[in-house]
Structures are given as C-alpha cells and as structure tokens.
C-alpha cells in the first residue's frame, strides 16, 4: 500500500517568489493615512496680506480710531483714554451694531494697543472693522 503523498511525481518545490500584493496593500493604506494627517501637522497659516494699492473705502460716516506711535488712542482726531474708548464703543454699538470702524495705527504701534481696540469692539458687538493703509506712491 503506497502513500500517494510521497511519490516523486507529486512533489512540488516551495515557491521562491514573494507575494507582493499584501505589501502593496499595506503601503497604500499608509500612504492614504499620511496624506490625510500631514496637513493637520503643519503649523503654517496661509494668509493673503493686503497690498498697499487698495481702493477707497466707501463707508458712510465711519468711526475713525487712530493710534499714534506712543500708543495714544484717538476717536475721530480727538484724544481719548482706554476707559472712554470702551464707553464710546458701547454707545456706538447701541445706536448701530453695524457701525463701520476705520482703524489707523502707526507702524511702530505695539500690537497690544491694536488688540485692545479689536477686543473692545468685539465685546460690544461691533464687527465691521477695516484697517486703513497709506497708498503707495
């Protein structure tokens, strides 16, 4: 009684080739994961800075807030204290919540001063704020 499993005719050599299909599948999954997560890892913020060649602002009766290089606030060319600034912004918001504000700040003004105006305007419900620049010559 012969066993057919040990016959020389039925003997096959082991496969010498590597099956690359699972490797390709794993690599494609890793590629997709990398493509999805890579944008989340970057800390860069894409912004478009305005150029100095802008058109004229067409707001009617805007509030012009200015800050000089020393950090002094001005409401329509009149010096004002930070406390009065908050009070006047609250009054302006009560009259018109869509009141346009034009913010003019000197190049050397500390960002803290600009930030104070933005925070005060937001706290009082004023969101229509534009930054005024000088046109290039």
Dump pLDDT digits (tens) for 76-132: 888 899 899 999 999 999 998 888 998 888 878 888 998 999 999 999 999 889 887
Structural domains in the chain, CATH included, are 63-131 (3.30.420.270)
Handedness of CA 76, 69, 72, 116 (dihedral sign): positive
What residues are paired with 61 via a beta bridge? none
pTM: 0.57
5 pLDDT more than 60: no
Predicted local confidence at residue 9, as pLDDT:
62
What pLDDT digit, counting tens, does each position of 15-69 carry?
A: 778 888 999 999 999 999 999 888 777 655 453 434 456 666 666 788 989 888 8
Q: What are the phi and psi torsion angles at 104 (to 5°)?
A: -115, 120
| Long-range Cβ pairs for the range 53-60 (8 Å, 24+) | 53/135, 53/136, 54/133, 54/135, 57/102, 57/130, 57/132, 59/100, 59/102, 59/130, 60/100
pLDDT at 48: 41
Higher pLDDT residue, 70 or 9? 70
Residue 7's pLDDT band (cuts 50, 70, 90): low
Q: What pLDDT is recorded for position 50?
A: 43
Q: What pLDDT does 76 receive? A: 86
User: How confident is the model at residue 137, as a pLDDT?
Assistant: 56
């Amino acid at each position: 009684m012969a066993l057919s499993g040990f016959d020389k005719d039925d003997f096959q050599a082991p496969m010498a080739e590597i099956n690359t299909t699972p490797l390709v599948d794993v690599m494609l999954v890793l590629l997709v994961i990398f493509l999805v997560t890579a944008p989340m890892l970057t800390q860069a913020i894409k912004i478009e800075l305005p150029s100095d060649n802008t058109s004229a602002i067409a707001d009617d009766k805007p509030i012009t807030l200015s800050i000089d290089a020393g950090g002094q606030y001005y409401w329509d060319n009149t010096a004002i204290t930070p406390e009065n600034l908050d009070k006047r912004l609250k009054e302006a918001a009560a009259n018109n919540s869509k009141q346009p504000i034009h913010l003019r700040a000197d190049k050397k003004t500390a960002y803290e001063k600009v930030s104070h105006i933005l925070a005060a305007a937001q706290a009082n419900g004023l969101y229509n704020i534009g930054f005024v620049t000088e046109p290039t010559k």
